[in-house]
Amino acid sequence: GEDVEQSLFLSVREGDSSVINCTYTDSSSTYLYWYKQEPGAGLQLLTYIFSNMDMKQDQRLTVLLNKKDKHLSLRIADTQTGDSAIYFCAERRAGNNRKLIWGLGTSLAVNP
Amino acid sequence: DGGITQSPKYLFRKEGQNVTLSCEQNLNHDAMYWYRQDPGQGLRLIYYSQIVNDFQKGDIAEGYSVSREKKESFPLTVTSAQKNPTAFYLCATIPHRNTEAFFGQGTRLTVV
């Protein structure tokens, strides 16, 4: 995960917005992803953004991409206790045999 | 229902034994992947396969072996050469359209 970096922990109060940040290093990235992992389960795709986009919104989720700074963020509006999970950022690079490069994951704790 | 099935969910192994983790998919996806997840280490790629009868080593292939005799199946064998096999193992697939990865629910392997 050294090429994709995320902070390891985030704690928010229920009802507040959560912002999870990710930085990557390769400018050839084509797609950038956010996955959610609940305890003892596999990863679930939340959303992804193509590299020629700046923003994508899907219900409570907003993804912002700053290609110049190689910075990706995931904003969760009105965070609920069910949002408590680990959130992984991943990138796909051009011509990389469909391999994904993963961050280490951000553990989000939502406090009532 | 379409999906990825990993079995068993929990697996216990004695030191020195080989064990095989199953991954079956009925999504008709070309590419299949095995990841290992340890606490605080994110996802590390063990092996991947893009077509039947072909597979490549990932970043941590030592002590593991795979086969891809059928499109639907990509079993992972953890051999006695793997010195620290206790971990959570995730299988994933990627369709031909090459966008997101889909994950199974994982197998937790414990060496006793």
pLDDT digits (tens, 9 = 90+) for A9-66: 999 999 999 999 999 988 777 889 999 999 888 999 999 998 888 999 999 999 999 9
Statement: residue A100 has pLDDT above 90: no
Look at B104 and A45 and tell me if their CB atoms are within 8 Å: no
Shortest distance, CA A79 to any CA of chain B (angstroms) = 23
The pLDDT value recorded for residue B39 is 83
Chain B window 61-80: which residues touch A at a Cβ cutoff of 8 Å?
none
- Characterise B56 by phi-psi region: left (phi > 0), alpha (psi -120 to 50), beta (else): beta
Cβ pair A65, A57 in contact under 8 A? no
**Distance from chain centroid for Cα A2:** 15
